[in-house]
Amino acid sequence: MKAKKILIIDDERSLLESLEMFLSEKGYDVQSAQDASEGLRQGRLFDPQVIILDIRLPDMNGLDVLQEFIRQGRKHIVIITAFHDMDITIKAMKLGAFDYIPKPIDVEELERVIDKALKSESSSRTAEMVWIDPSIPFVPGKIIGKSKEMKEIFKTIGVLSENRVTVLIEGETGTGKELIARAIHNNSPFQEHPFQVINCSTIVGTLLESELFGHEKGSFTGASASKKGKFELAGLGSIFLDEIGEVPYEIQAKLLRFLQEKEFERLGGEKRIKSNARVIAATNRNLWEMVQKGTFREDLYYRLNVAAIKVPPLRNRKKDIPLLVDHIIIKINAELSKGIRKVEGAALERMMEYDWPGNVRELENVITHGVISSQGDIILEELITPLLGKKTGIPLYSSEPNEKKQNLKDLEKEYIVDILNRTHWHLGKTCELLGISRPTLRQKLKAYGLSADHQKT
């Protein structure tokens, strides 16, 4: 196997000699140049895989040299510079430098960066890769899959969209049950009517009853005015009852009555209100087992289970993973202005081998972290493997617009804090790296409650 080629361009002779010796001993084919013109000439003749470029050269601005190499199609250019060149370094990264290392150089860090660049170089030439077409737009709410199980679900959605029967969607957390519920609603003749969502696990007791059926003024402490519930607000649309298994037993009777009679009373009220809202319920629990244990009404179970959809976990439809990876990256590229175009074959293999206990939600979380951490346009295996089975702390997979916006805000806050820490909270340098004005940065700092107290110690 031919040795990988590395070109070093720096006007400091002692540094050149040290790096040449170190990298040659590591098995690399090394050439060097002490000025820009010689470096550009060597770039054409030597054709290196990695270029190590000092930003300050005697005959030319290092940024101009970088731009020339970028124009020639070279992607793996590592900038070396003194710490006081931080502003220039930020510009270099924005222009397309692969990475930068400050002087004095830590050779172990340099070796890691070179290894990463060469991995990216070799991965970009392998056929085992997911290629992302940047011209394909992200379509919100699209359900992805070509497996037999998903094709059956698509057929069922088509049938259920033409009627208004109650639907029960069963599946593990993170499988996309709400996406299916929205697809049924959005393909129905009543798609212009509201789609009301309520997570039954997050609201308890009287408050849940009020959210579902509404309440009259004075019906309980804090009820200062009358309020419509989800069944009224839905009108001719749909109400999605997520985590239906968490509904308290005493409220299940009122829910059963609505399903039987299509009418209800507000909490504290006497007037009977009719509603033609369609009910779509979802659960990650085994409702029949709950019936057997006496924690869920059997008559309500049968009323909900008129039509059932069982969503398979991701581990049972792994052939869909490449399609999901493609779709998720297109989404993240659009939302975070990234330019990822491919995934290393080994990274895709790790994802295919993993069982994804958190399902599609976990897959999106992992890919999002991989995109954020990627340098260049490729997601490497080394970025993905450490995240598998690890809680990354950013729950990004959600089809509910408000929740998605909140999660993206969390992501933006984390990204801003990371850049601030990298620049030691220098606002000017942070603005340059983020590509925003100082007033905009100050607004974001205020909105996220950030101050120098958050700086890493």
- Give the CATH architecture of domain 148-311: 3-Layer(aba) Sandwich (3.40)
Q: Is residue 309 within 8 Å of residue 156, measured between CB atoms? A: yes
- How far apart, in Å, are the Cα atoms of 75 and each of 26, 96, 278? 22, 7, 55
pLDDT of residue 352: 93
Q: Are 165 and 307 in contact (CB under 8 A)?
A: yes
Nearest to 64 by CA among 86, 88, 30: 88
pLDDT at 64: 93
Show me where the domains of the chain are located. 5-123, 130-140+315-387, 148-311, 401-454
SS3 303: helix
Among candidate residues 202, 198, 223, the one with its CA nearest the CA of residue 211: 198
Look at residue 132 in the predicted model and tell me its pLDDT: 72
* Threshold 0.85, pTM exceeds: no
CA 40 to chain centre: 39
Which CATH code fits 130-140+315-387?
A: 1.10.8.60
pLDDT in tens, the chain (457 residues): 678 999 999 999 888 999 999 999 999 999 999 999 999 999 999 999 999 999 889 999 889 999 999 888 888 899 988 765 667 777 887 787 888 888 888 888 899 889 888 876 655 544 355 567 666 677 888 899 889 999 999 999 999 999 999 999 999 999 999 999 999 999 999 999 999 999 998 887 668 888 899 888 877 777 788 889 899 999 999 999 999 999 998 899 999 999 999 998 888 888 899 999 999 999 999 999 999 999 999 999 999 999 999 999 999 999 999 989 999 999 988 888 788 888 888 889 999 999 999 999 999 999 998 888 787 788 888 889 888 876 544 333 333 344 433 445 666 677 788 778 777 788 877 776 665 667 778 878 888 888 765 555 4
- Rounded to a whole number of angstroms, the CA Rg of the chain reads 28
Task: Quickly name the fold that domain 401-454 has.
Answer: Arc Repressor Mutant, subunit A (1.10.10)
Equal CATH topology for 5-123 and 148-311: yes
The two three-digit tokens of residue 97, written as one number: 């430098």
> Is residue 39 classed as helix, strand or coil in its secondary structure?
helix
Contact 226, 214 (CB under 8 A): yes
* 267, β-bridge pairs: 215
Residue 394: its pLDDT value, please?
39
Reported CATH class of domain 5-123: alpha beta
Packing angle, helices 427-434 and 86-95, rounded to 10: 10
